[in-house]
A and B are shown apart, each in its own frame.
Chain A
Amino acid sequence: MRFALIGQPNCGKSTLFNQVAGYKAETGNFAGTTVSFTETKVRVLGEVIELVDLPGTYSLLGTNPAERVVLDYLIEKKVNAVINVIDATHLVQGLLLTLELMEMGRPMVLAINMMDEASRQGLKIDGEKLSELLGIPVLPMIASRGQGVRETFIQAWHAAKEKKVPQPKSYEEKIESAVTDIKNKMKQGEFPISRRAFAVKLLEGDPEITKQVESKNPGMLKIIQGHLDTLCHHSSRQAVWMVATERQKIARELSQKVSKQGETQLSIRDRLDDYLLHPIFGYIFLFLVLGGFFALVYGIGNWLEAPLLNFFDNLTNLILNRLNAEGLLPELIAGMIQGVAGGLAIVLPYLAPFLLGLGFLEDIGYLTRIAFLTDALMHRIGLHGKAIVPFILGYGCSVPAIMSTRIMENKRDRFLSSALVTMIPCAARLSVIFGLVSFYLGPWAALGIYFFNIFVIAIIGRIITHFIPEDSPGLILEMPVYRLPTLRTVTAKAWFRIREFILEAWPLLIIGSIILAGLNYYSITPYLDKIFQPITWALDLPSEVGTPLIFGIFRKELSLIMLAQALGTTNFGAVLTSEQMISYTVFVVFYIPCIATIVTIKNELGTKNMWLITWLTLLVAITTALFSRLIFFFFV
């Protein structure tokens, strides 16, 4: 059997999912889109059930990829029962989706989540009465504490066994007669969802379903258009609005019948935004939060990185001594260990605390506030507030940052934010900035590179916006109330993102390291240097740095580690001038993203955009490195 969890964004659906999901949970991609959903297996009354967590959606209109996924899933996959989760504090809005789901002709139960939040606001909801009015089981739930979860699944199981299909609510006469007419003219079983749902979707003008009808039964289109015209003529409004208004009317009536508003107990939580979104204090607080966040992440990362690297160094030596052989094999083994170490010692110590912290900020509700505060700023570089999330992530690792651009609605915004995010110095490039610039030229020079980087990204954003102007409507977000997240939801969320790194980027890192070791063994480095010669010449760098730069494409921190090998010394101060160090670092910060990032861009945005972004970064790197030489020429 399969149950589907459906609810509006922020209704606590994922909290519920994480409560029941074991560690076997899997993420999957729906064909053709990148909006993912998660599946897990749960045991209900001794039976193993597949539970799918569909993306949060306000309605089934299919206006954005997430909604499309939910609708398509309901149409194409066999779902034995729908568990509809709604937020008790937004009953009317939640019921809108419930009413729509009831039309789909699948057994369903309604879970009213966040009952604790509702009673805090003095709201009383009579679940039994709502159950009577809707004709489906209604269960109160506090998902964060696991209350009502078991009962919900048991009821869903019963509904699925008895195949109890809900009776949908009727709309006003004119809509109903149109629906009935369309329904009757369709053949039984012609389409996989209930005929009523299909008829309503057609009246709402769903493009996909209209297309399906066009191919299967072209005569229908004329009939539908006729109904649409009549409805429009009667009310001077489009049918889609009439249906929406009708649903709202029904939802409001239901809500009035079952809920009672008592005394509201306002707490500090409700006044918090007065300070946190204040035009002055809000930004000070934002600065402190982000500063503290990064300090914490780098603190933990640094603390873990050195001993872990040490451990892997010892391990390599131990294994090489044991093998006691010369030749290709030990080199390859050493390369493999380096690849494993790169992921475990250099990326994960920063990525894990980073994602945990980010998950916390997200669940507590602060991330949306950051988007609100930075929206005006982001518009200056042709994006809007939502893009701040990939930007923050980018300082940890470009891979999750590019994946997170999925939250942007349109392709242009995704492309632009991905392109800009790849130029943000990630934790690996940080090691170059710290190891070279900060160590030899002082922390202020390193800070200078950071600001220079932000400045360049802003300019590139403006330039790209000049060619592909902003056409998205801007920020549309629901402001969540502050909620104290549970440890479990935060760790589960972080784990899913870490897994994406482990499964998608880490293997490439290891393979890259092995290939590098092979190349190194056959001493092909002089040829590699040749490839970058035009660039090293233009930047007035020793031609030996070509190899570390190529290695840096596999793993960014190699452009520092390999530098020692290429130049034959770890005392870079003796062989490089400060000008050379700066132009080298600037080049490294911007040029070609690492293999893992390139592959991620390809998966998310396609091959064409992958090449586009790769060449763009190379161009930007050369230009900015030359610019840094120019600054030295004039001012130093």
Chain B
Amino acid sequence: MQRRLAQLGFLPGNKVRIIRAAPFHGPLILEVEGREIVLGRRVASHIFVEYI
């Protein structure tokens, strides 16, 4: 799981931007390392970020 995310660019120190969220508590589209990644809320809730 962690590895899956790492492959998609969710590594410590990388910048993440929320582009949009689907309604009804749907998934998020995140931009990381120049790619748009769709993540369900459950996965997304396990990624810890620092606001910048």
Contacts and interface: CB of A to CB of B under 8 A. Distances in A.
Interface of A: 58-59, 61, 63-64, 89-90, 92-93, 96, 240-241, 244-245, 248, 273, 277, 279, 368, 371-373, 375-377, 379, 384-385, 473-479
B7 A58 contact: yes
Interface string B6-43: 11110111000000101111110100011111111111
Contacts of B4: 63-64, 476
A384 B42 CA distance: 11
B22 A476 contact: no
A279 B27 CA distance: 12
Closest 6 CB pairs of A and B: A474-B40, A58-B7, A376-B26, A479-B36, A376-B24, A475-B40
Nearest to A248: B11
B3 A476 contact: no
A264 B39 CA distance: 27
Given A63-B4, A244-B6, A476-B43, A372 B38 contact: yes
B5 interface: yes
Contacts of B7: 58-59, 61, 63, 96
Contacts of A240: 3
Which of A89, A241, A476, A478 has the most chain B CB atoms closer than 10 A to its own CB? A476
26 contacts: A58-B7, A58-B8, A59-B7, A63-B3, A90-B34, A90-B35, A240-B3, A277-B22, A372-B22, A373-B22, A376-B22, A377-B24, A385-B27, A385-B40, A473-B1, A474-B39, A474-B41, A474-B42, A474-B43, A475-B39, A476-B38, A476-B39, A478-B35, A478-B36, A478-B37, A479-B29
B33 A92 contact: yes
B43 A473 contact: yes
A277 B20 contact: yes
Contacts of B27: 372, 375-376, 385, 474-475
Given A473-B40, A476-B5, A476-B40, 13 more contacts: A63-B7, A90-B35, A241-B12, A245-B13, A248-B11, A277-B20, A375-B26, A379-B40, A385-B40, A474-B39, A475-B40, A477-B37, A479-B38
B29 A93 contact: no
A376 B25 contact: yes
Interface residues of B, number: 30
Contacts of B38: 368, 371-372, 375, 385, 475-479
Contacts of A477: 37-38
A375 B22 contact: yes
Nearest to A61: B3
A371 B37 CA distance: 12
Q: Is the interface of A mostly helix, strand, loop or mixed?
A: helix
A478 B5 CA distance: 11
Contacts of B3: 59, 61, 63, 240
Contact of B23 (A376, A385, A473, A478): A376
Nearest to B29: A479
Contact of A372 (B8, B26, B35): B26
A393 to B, nearest CB: 20
Contacts of A93: 9, 33-35
Contacts of B12: 241, 245
A63 B8 CA distance: 13
Nearest to A97: B7
Contacts of B42: 473-474
B8 to A, nearest CB: 7
Contacts of A376: 22-27
Contacts of A61: 3, 7
Contacts of B37: 476-479
Contacts of A475: 27, 38-40, 43
Contacts of B35: 90, 93, 478-479
Contacts of B22: 277, 279, 372-373, 375-376
A479 B40 CA distance: 13
A152 B1 CA distance: 35
Contacts of B5: 476
B24 to A, nearest CB: 4
A277 B38 CA distance: 12
B49 to A, nearest CB: 17
A71 B9 CA distance: 20
Given A372-B29, A377-B24, A384-B40, A92 B34 contact: yes
Contacts of A248: 11
A608 to B, nearest CB: 27
A369 B21 CA distance: 12
Nearest to A385: B27
A248 B14 CA distance: 10
Given A63-B4, A277-B20, A474-B27, A244 B43 contact: no
A372 B3 CA distance: 22
A375 B22 CA distance: 8
B39 to A, nearest CB: 6
A245 B29 CA distance: 23
B18 to A, nearest CB: 13
Nearest to A479: B36
Contacts of A476: 4-5, 8, 37-40, 43
A392 B34 CA distance: 31
Contacts of A379: 40
A368 B36 CA distance: 11
Nearest to A67: B7
B40 A245 contact: no
Nearest to A373: B22
Contacts of B29: 277, 372, 479
A627 to B, nearest CB: 28
B37 to A, nearest CB: 6
